Structure 1
Amino acid sequence: MYSKRLMWIVWPAFLVACVLEILLFSMVDPQDLQWFGQPVTLSRQGVYTVAFFVFWGITMVSSALTTLLAMSPFEVNRCPLPLDGRPEGCPKDQSC
């Protein structure tokens, strides 16, 4: 179940990061970029790589929030412990 949910987060984020990378670097030359007033010392390929992983990370956070908000109250509040090992306050009428 968690691997499926992980793919709901990672795969769309990967696709969106690809699109963002293409859109941004079709308009901006990485050699023209500056960081705090200084030219970026990375190669073009380095800038592409760093930007891709930044885009991917940001879009993964977005996808994760969407997945979290789509969870039912049962999924959010369920107790992961077996019935006989649950502490007080952990719902007892839920089956996994």
Structure 2
Amino acid sequence: MTPSINAIGFTLGAKQSEMIETKLKRIAYAEDLIVDLLIKIKHDKDFSFEATINFKWGTTAHVSANDDDFAPGLNKMMDVLDMKVKKEKDKVQEKK
């Protein structure tokens, strides 16, 4: 898995980068199924998180979340992302 993190409208701090890396460990169980993960974080009045995940069988999933604060927004996005990855993994295992 190749994660790519892009911060728009602010500079991503070391603590925030570390927090993202820690949260990405939640989907480490599917690391061999994921080609790349693109995370875009925008900051205007609130934080807007968008993630696009590309699976090795050609499927793409897109999730997003918004929050006034960085950490809760990241948690919301990771909750949805984790569910999406589990659902996609289950679908592929059912076909086998």
TM bracket (short chain) = 0.3 to 0.5
Higher relative helix content: 1
Q: TM-score, normalised by structure 2?
A: 0.37
Relative contact order higher in (CA < 8 Å, ≥ 6 apart): 1
Q: TM-score, normalised by structure 1?
A: 0.37
The structure number with the bigger radius of gyration is 1
Higher relative strand content: 2
